[in-house]
Every structure is written in C-alpha cells, then in structure tokens.
Structure 1
Amino acid sequence: MEITRTFDILDNYLVRFPEKQDALAAKKNGSWITFSSKEYVKNANYVSCGLLQLGISKGDRILSVSNNRPEWNFLDMGMSQIGAVHVPVYPTISREEYQYILQHCEPKIIVVSDKSLHDKIRPIAENLLPGTTIFTFNDVPGSRNFDEILRLGESSEAEYLPRVQEIKKSITPDDLLTIIYTSGTTGNPKGVMLSHRNVVTNAKGARNIHWYNNQHKMLSFLPICHVFERTINYHVQMEGIGIYYAENLGTIGDNLREVKPELMISVPRLIEKVYDKIIGTGKSLPYIKKQIFFWAVNLGLKYDYVLKGSPFYRLQLALARKLVFSKWQASLGGNLGLIVVGGAALQPRLSRIFGAAGIPTVEGYGLTESSPVIAANNMRTGEVRVGTVGPVFENVEVRIAEDGEILTKGPCVMMGYYKDPEKTKEAIDEEGWLHTGDIGILVEGKYLKITDRKKEIFKLSSG
C-alpha cells in the first residue's frame, strides 16, 4: 500500500505485517517487553480517541520530552491521526530553552517521561501556560499518567474511532506533522516545520540503501526527538523491522548482545568509544595474541568498500576476520551488518576498520530542515566512498553554489520556520533551494564531501 502520511504506517502494518510480534520493544524490570503490530495500532487508536476526548483538535500542539520508548510512538501516531502537531524536545536542554519553546509553540498538552523532567518543566508550564495539562509516562506522584489517555480512548473507542477515521481522511501529505526546535550557537531555537510529505519521502528513500526486512531488528538509542533517529524509525516501521529501544547509553553494549540487531544508527562519538575500548582490550593481550590483534587492525586500516583489495589482501582479511574480527562482531551482538553514522564527521579510519571487521559503518548527511537526509553512502548498490557522505538521496537535488555552499531542493525541504517568515526566507531562496550553511564538493561528480562550514559553527563528534 502507498504511504503518504506517517500514520499510514499503521495500516501498512495491518496489511503487510499483521503477525509481527516485535514491532516495538523496550526493556523493563530486566526483561524485554515487545509490542506486536496489532498492539501498536490499537494503542495509537486509543491515544487518538483519548486526545479527542480531552479536547485536542487538528493543529493543536502537543509537546513531548522523553527517552526512547514504545509509548512515544503510541503518542506520536495517535496525535498525527487527528492532525495534532508533535513538538518533541530534548530532555537535556536548559530551563531557558524550555521556557522559550513552551512560550513559542503554546502546547495544549505536555507529556514527559519521568519525575525529574516533570519537576523541571511543570513550574515553567504553570507560569507560562496555566491551562496546559502535563502527563507522565512513568508513575509520578501528583501527576496524571499517560495511561489515563489510553484508558479514555479504550472506553470511548466505539464513539470516537469513526471520528478519528474521518479526520484521517481530511489530512493531506502537505499538512503540518511536527515542529522540531533546533538550537544554534546564538539566539533562540528555531522551530522547523515539517509536513507528512517532508518526512515520509525521506523515510521512503532509505529503503534503497540497505537490504533488511521484517525478519530483522534495529537497536535505537539516539534521541528519537532528533529528526535523524525519528525518520529512520518511521522507515524501519515501513519495512517491518523490529525496533528495540536501548535502556541508556551505558547499556548499549549489553543491549546489542541481548537483542543481536542487524541495523543501528549512531553518532561518531559512540563508534570512537567502541573502537577505543576494543583497542584497549587488544593492548592487554599476551604478546603473541597482541601481535596478531594489531596485525589485523593494520590490515583493516587499508580496507576499501569497493575495491576490496588484491587476492592476497582478501586472503589475509579472511584470516583476520576468523582470528580477531569475529570477536569484535560477537561483542556487538554478532549480527550487526550496518551502522549508519550522522550528526558529525566520522573518521575515515573508523569506517575502514569496522568495514574490514564485517561491520560496515558508513556516513550520511542532512539537516533538520531537510527531514533530514540529503546524502548517504549506499551499501546495497556499492556506492560507498570513505571520507564522503555518499551519493545524493532519492528525491533530493544538490547543487554547489559559486561560493561552495551546498544547496538542496526536493520534497524533503521544510515548510519553514514556525512564526518566523524572515528566517525562512534567509534559509530557502526564491527558487526553492535550501541553503545548508555547509561547504562541500562532489567527488567523482557524485559523492558529496563536506569540507567546511560557511559560518563558524562547530559540531562535536557526539552530534
């Protein structure tokens, strides 16, 4: 079936993956709890009905501040089905940023994950928006729980679900789906408005860069409020790939070994930490094993995704994979076949060494304003060039301006900045080209390489 709005993913589940048992999963009290495709759809419908009962209408904003969890998806899909606008916000921003965002988008409802966020945001909301209701995913004394919305929806489904279906019919691909606030180095955050079309076309484009399907799993740990993780979440749901949410950054290693996923999205800093830990282990090995370990590492640093090396190199690599790199693979679950890295530049040596280890690790590039992917290395077609962010994505155009700035155009380009037409005009020119602020070149006329920033804005490897 054709998916043109994010909530069409739910109908897609029922048509293509009705028996999917692990559409979404999270670890609770030491055990992995899974939600089937049918349970996902049911809970999203409960949220839609519950929100209608609470007086939410099309265009109303709902703000969420949460860790990654299945309930985030129930909320996201539930509100999108009735045309409410999701405003997901980082749990780690400052009090001043929360204050600005709440005042700027004026949410009718706020949903937070836990007590610390509740205690941080509630005084701000009560001061600025006294009529706003706050719900929490976790049990927090004195606060209304998210389960209340689900129970409201369940008890009134017979009455409200027909209304939900009517509202769904009225929502077009060009309707506003979400507002995502991006923080710059100066000034207030800007609210990027993305439509269903923006996000869905970008999510669809990702299907051509890998070979995974409903028999596979992804471990998700980057904040789902970030457009990169969020769009990829939509994409893997389209393909029926099971999404397992890591407990936290400190448990990623354990979670990888428990879940054994095939796919993961990351930022360079995590790859650097994994590599440093592995190298530290190698340095502590007995002399002979240490020599073999670093022989394999040095071999891996020469790896090329396309050329693969001479027959003698490939023979050595096969031996290195058996003696050394198989242990790297096991430490990351044993099945990991693709890591896509974004948010900052990945050191080429890390892409090469993990590729040699049989864990392809490649870069992609984009902006919140482009929903986000503009370019990505493509393992499926073999279009991979280490040191670049890959060929331009499906349905995306790229042009290099005279001053070297990367310009992009396509259905992924944002609707604009919320309540800020002037900033929108600065970002998108009259011909529809989004000015990225990054300087780049096209290697071999095809592979995008970021060389500089037009403005001095620094981004760390943590993304």
Structure 2
Amino acid sequence: WVIAEQGAFTRRATTVPLYDTLGEHAVSYVINQTQVRTVICSSAEVPKLLSCREACPSLATIVCLAPAAALREPCEAAGLQLLDFCQVETCGAKATYQPLTGEESDIGTFCYTSGTTGGMLANVAGLTKLVTTESPLLKFGAEDEAYLSYLPLAHVMERLVQTMMYHFGAAIGFSQGDSRKIMDDVAALRPTLFACVPRILNRVYDNVVGAVRKAGGMKESHFERAMEAKKEGLRNGFLTHPYWDNTVFDDIKKKLGFDRARLVVTGSAPIASHVLTFMRALLACPVVEGYGQTEATCAVSYAHVHDFSVGNVGLPVGCLEVKLADVPAMGYLSTDTQHGSKGDFISCKGRGEICYRGPCTFRGYYKMPEKTKETIDSDGWVHSGDIGMWLKTGQLKIIDRKKSIFKLSQGEYIAPDKIENVITESPLVAQSFVYGNSFQSRLVAVIVPDFEYLPEHFPSTATGIGSSKALCESDAVRSLVLRSVQEISDKNKLRGFEKVKAVHLTSIPFTAENGLLTPSFKLKRDVAFKTFEKEIDRLYENIGDKVANGQRVEKSA
C-alpha cells in the first residue's frame, strides 16, 4: 500500500485510497466518479471488484498482492488484466526514469470520507497539501524515531504522519489490525511517536488506575503521592520529576511500551481533562490534543508541546487562518465575552462556527459543486460545522456541533457528540449513541459497556452472570451503568435536558465492519438508529413517551 502510493506520486499519478470496509456499491461509486483504471489491492478484495465489474467500465487492471491462481480465469473472463505486485516491482526496478515534478495545480489525491449520515464525499487535495500541513511538526523528527501505524492507511491523519516519518527516515511499525490488541503492539514496538484517538488513552488510564486500586495499601498511596507531585509539576511547567519518575512511573511506562515515547498526539474526539493530565504525568512527555478535519488535510489546531493546559485544542497551525463565524440561531456570536450556564461562566473572546482557510485546505468535493459551495464560501473560508470559542489565552476550545444538532420538543438544541464524549468518561462505558428528536422531550442512549472493567471492578454485578450478553440484560448492571452516566453528567455540569434518562445496553461493539462507524471511527447516526430502533422505542415507552417510527404517539385516554 505504502510503496504503491509513493510510487504513484513520483509519476504525478492521482491516488484514490479506499477503506477495505467499503461495500460493493461504495467501491463502484468511487471508481466511476474518479474514472479509476488501475486498482492495487489484496487478493481478498478481488472478488468485490469482480462483482461490480459491469458497473465500472473504466476499470482495466488489478495489481494484486500475492494473487491466487484461481483468480486469473475470472479476471480474464471479466476483461481485466491481473498483475502480481511483486512482478510490477521487479519491472519498475529495471526501468530508469527521473521522478516527475508535481505542479501545484495537480490533483494529488482524493480523500474519501464515509459521512456519518451516509453519503461519500471526495475531498480533492493537491500534492503540496501534505507537505504544507506537516511542516510545523517536522522539528520532532529524527532517524531513531519509531511510529506505530494502526489507523486505516486511507485515513488522512495516518497519511500525514507517515509522510512525516518518510521525511526523516524513521521506522514505521504496522499493527496487527485488531483494535483490541493495540496495547500489545505498543509494547512490542515501543514507539517514540504515537497518534491515537482518546479511547486508547482512556483504556490505558482505566488499566493503570484499576491495577493500582487492586494492589491497594502502600502501593496505592505511594502511586497517588507520585501522581499528585507530577500534577503539581505540570501546573508549574515541568513534565519530569527526578524522584517519582525513577521510582514509580518508569517501570509502568516500560510495561506499557511507552518508555521511549517522545510525543503522543490525540484527536478525532475530545479527551477528558483528567485523563490528559494523567497521561502527561505518567509518560513524562508531551501529550498533545489537536483538532482537524479531512477538509483541512488533517490539522486545524493543536496544543504546543510546552502547553500543559487542558480543555482546549491549542492554537491554529501556521499554514491556516482561523476565525469564528456567527451562528445566531444557536446563540453563538463572535462578539461574545462569556460562555456557560448561569453561575458557571468562562471568559472568552468570541464564539461561533470554526472557519479556516490556507494553502493546506482541500479544493472542494469532486463533481459536487453545490456541496462545495455549502462548505467553502466566496472568500475561501471552509466552514467546519463545529462550534468553538477563543479562550482569553488564545487557544481554541470546541464547545458544540452545528451539523449533528437537533431540537427536543421543548425547543432546546442538543449536540449529541458533546454528550457522548461526556458519557464515555465513565469507566463503565466503552461506546455510546445518544438519541432524541423534535417529538421527544428527553434523551435516551444505547451503550456498549466496558466488559473488561465491569467484572474486575464491580464483581458483584457479575455474580451468576456469564456472557457479555447476559451482563447487558441484567437490570442491576443497567441501573449501575445509568447511575454512572448520571454521575459523570453531573460532574461535567450538563444541563437537565442534556442528561440521558434511560439506557439500553448492547454487547455489539460499534465498528466499521458492522457499519456503525465510519472508517475514521465516527458514529453513523442513521445506521445506529436503524439498528437499535426497536430498543429506542422501548426506552421511550418505559419512560412514558410512546413512539412509533421515531415520532411521539399521543397516549390514549
């Protein structure tokens, strides 16, 4: 995959990376929209291409990694040339040519995003975009760097970081492809640079805290003293501690595989402030939270490595201008000086939709001019759909979401992403889907419990209960999870109408494979609703709101 993409760039060829989780319809849609002639893939993907062959007249050649002999005949019958990737490499090694220099006007790549509401969007990016975006981070590079690649290779953040690694000749270790074994991969590689989603760091936090509590006694009190000392150091601008790192944290880091870590980057969703501080104290290296979008060729902003504050996504990257646009319908104005509920205000320097422009932004959605106009205004500003505010210290803070919001029956706006991020701070919650609509006055949620945490830390809930499915069907476990969700909601000061009133527990994880997540791990809300529609209806019936097809039904007298 990596060799193919880099080789294509040397010939000024346009690449169209695809996620292997895409179905036949999505694959044929992409091939036809971009008029792809050659596909490079594993043998497992060839049957998918054969099944949509008639719908893809432009497709002429398949370059396959170790193609099975049985694939040749059906490919020939379909009028497709099947080549062995190794043979193509051998031919290329014998050829002598100079790499072609790309022009700024070239379309370097298409970055397809599988939208959270269904449709696929082709983000058009030039070859210069990755280079422009990566430049602020290059100072962290060295030849002895090692990076663990576990995000999908088509993911724009993964491609950005890998481009950085190639620039300074660092090593890249590829994960096993099983998200449940990521920490095993970390322990094996001992990466110096680790880019991850908050859920991974939440797992580290839960495991370390759980092990410390289980040990108890002097070990627990010793760890807590060490952690408080490190947190105090962070408040004063120090990442390391000469005594506590050596006596407590170095051994933990080594067991985890983070003993060589120099930089940890997290994004895609907000990370809880206490987890971020904990990880900085534990790892004694910068743990940086960032904010980005595919349309920005990854990063819009990220925290400075010496900024140990929490609850923000740092400063804009050097190649972008960022502004906040008024959203009067939601009560956000660029002239606002305060944010928060009564009695809990935060001073700010404006609130509104985050907009950005610069040389690293995308050119538009391919062959979708109307969608492009909706996103990029006449002055070149890309409208993100996210609501942010400027803190007094200059950092950007994400506070709401414009695109996925909905109203409850009483007219209050709900940003489900925000509530889900709060809910997953509970150690009992692995994943969540918050639901409501304009016919309902209350919110409900579908929750995937953390099955590692439940039995270990709440053994009473597992008494007489064996499987994960049985745990989810237990009234005691459901009450326990709901109570935990309510406590974490109170702790984060969610308003009354933002609090979940009932939960359904499921043992089915949200994954890209079962269609509940996009390949970049965003929840597909329409798919989630269709999957759990009956359970959601039942939740509303249980709390006194009878529904049918997502709409309130008047109760009979």
Structure 2 equivalent of residue 50 of structure 1 = none
| Corresponding position of 2:379 | 431
Q: How many residues align?
A: 373
Contact 1:363 1:377 in 2 (8 A): yes
Task: Confirm or deny that 1:411 pairs with 2:336.
Answer: no
1:234 aligns with 2:158: no
Query: What are structure 1's unaligned runs of at least 5 residues?
Result: 1-71
Aligned partners of 1:174 and 1:195 also within 8 Å: yes
CA deviations over 1:99-139 (Å, ceiling 9, x no partner): 32223223111122352x33334312454337432222244
Q: CA 1:292/1:400 → structure 2, altered by over 3 Å: closer, same or farther? A: same
- Structure 2 vs 1, CA of residues 304 and 112 (structure 1 numbering), >3 Å: closer, same or farther? farther
Structure 1 CA distance for aligned equivalents of residues 267 and 69 of structure 2:
38
Q: In 2, Cα distance between the equivalents of 1:450 and 1:113? A: 39
Alignment match of 2:313 (pick from 366, 385, 389): 389
Whether 2:106 is the aligned partner of 1:175: answer: yes
The answer to whether 1:329 aligns with 2:253 is yes
Structure 1 contact 362–386 (Cα < 8 Å) conserved: no
Who is 1:372 aligned against?
298
Gaps of 5+ in 2: 72-82, 328-351, 406-415, 422-520, 523-557
Q: Which residue of 2 aligns with 1:307?
A: 236
| Compared CA separation, residues 443 and 142, structure 1 to 2 (3 A) | farther
Match of 1:199 among 125, 130, 145: 130
Structure 1 position 142 matched with structure 2 position 73: no
**Contact 2:36–2:58, Cα closer than 8 Å, also in 1:** no
CA distance in 2, matches of 1:185, 1:278: 33
Aligned counterpart, 1:184: 115
Deviation of 1:74 (Å): 1.2
Q: Structure 2: how far apart are the matches of 1:388 and 1:251? A: 29
Q: How does 1:120-269 map to 2 (within 5 A)?
A: 120-129=48-57, 131-143=59-71, 144-155=83-94, 157-158=95-96, 161=97, 164-165=98-99, 168-169=100-101, 171-208=102-139, 211-248=140-177, 249-269=179-199
CA 342–113 in structure 1, closer or farther in 2 if over 3 Å, else same: farther
Q: Give the fraction of aligned pairs with identical amino acids, expressed as a percent.
A: 28
In the superposition, the TM-score normalised over structure 1's length comes to: 0.74
Q: Does the CA contact (< 8 Å) of 1:257 and 1:332 recur in 2?
A: yes
Equivalent residue number for residue 68 of structure 1: none
Q: Which whole-Å CA distance do the structure 1 matches of 2:216 and 2:116 have between them?
A: 48
Q: Which residue of 2 aligns with 1:352?
A: 277
Quote the RMSD (CA, aligned, Å): 2.5
**Residues 242 and 426 of structure 1, relative CA distance in 2, 3 Å threshold:** same
Is 1:363 aligned to 2:306, yes or no? no
Distance 1:297 1:139 in 2: 53
Specify the SS of the correspondent of 2:70.
coil
Residue 395 of structure 2 corresponds to 447
Q: Deviations for 1:327-375, whole angstroms, at most 9, x for unmatched residues?
A: 3311224111211011111111111001011143221111111111110
C-alpha distance in 2, partners of 1:153/1:215?
29
- The answer (yes or no) to whether the contact 1:406–1:440 under 8 Å persists in 2 is yes
Is contact 2:157–2:298 with CA below 8 Å preserved after alignment?
A: yes
SS at match of 2:12: coil
Distance 1:233 1:323, change over 3 A: same
AA aligned to 1:343 is S
Deviates more, 1:233-242 or 1:137-146: 137-146
Deviations, residues 278-306 of structure 1 (Å, cap 9, x unaligned): 22322332533233334445666x45746
Cα distance change, pair 283–93 in 1 and its aligned pair in 2 (3 A): farther
The amino acid that maps onto 1:124 is C
SS in 1 for 2:148: strand
1:244, CA displacement in angstroms?
Answer: 2.1
- 1:154 maps to a residue whose letter is A
Name which structure has the greater RCO, CA cutoff 8 Å, separation 6+: 1
Determine the C-alpha separation between the residues in 2 that align with 1:294 and 1:89. 46
CA contact (8 A) 1:339 1:360 kept: yes
Quote the Cα distance in structure 1 between the aligned partners of 2:23 and 2:202: 27
Corresponding residue for residue 271 of structure 1: 201
Q: Secondary structure at the match of 1:292?
A: helix
Partner secondary structure for residue 181 of structure 1 = strand
Structure 1 residue 239: Cα displacement: 2.7
